Amino acid sequence: MREFIIIKPDGVERGLVGEILKRFEKYGFRIVGLKILNVSKKQAEELYEVHKGKPFYNDLIEYICSGPVVAGMLQIAVPDADSVSLVRKIVGETDPAKAAMGTIRGDFGVSIRRNIIHASDSRPSRDREMKIFFSDEELVDYPKN
């Protein structure tokens, strides 16, 4: 099963991309797609469309567009694994102040507005979000030795 993540501008600026990806790899995820990019306003609006009309929507758009991000597709080798839940567990609570130590947000997040990483919260979200940033041709399959 594949999962979608974005290491947000604060993670890229602080040089934490390798550490964050390493945490997923330690749990058995393989990187099957990866790119660094500047998110366009259109992409940001598509990504956060579920939050349109909420008081923090404009802040989300402004922040995700404020610097380079790393978008990634991860795949877990165990076919029946609940990969959405596992990714969410590795990432931690949205608010770093409430996230457990040992999670990405608990260890590296600085505020709810700068919480270092985005991860899809469901399979439908993943399917919608990954298409904003990746085409099928950009994803690879390879055997795990």
pLDDT, one tens digit per residue, over 74-129 is 998 777 778 999 999 999 999 999 999 999 999 999 998 888 999 999 999 999 99
Please tell me which residue in 118, 119, 126, 129 is annotated as part of the active site: 118
Whole-model pTM: value is 0.93
**Strand locations in 54-134 (E):** 69-76, 117-119
pLDDT, one tens digit per residue, over 11-36 is 999 999 999 999 999 999 999 999 99
Number of separate domains in the chain: 1
CATH number, domain of 113, equals 3.30.70.141
Residue 139: inside a domain, yes or no? no
Centre a 10 Å sphere on the Cβ of residue 40 and count the other Cβ atoms it contains.
12
What's the chain's average pLDDT?
A: 93
Residue 143: inside a domain, yes or no? no
51 is catalytic: no
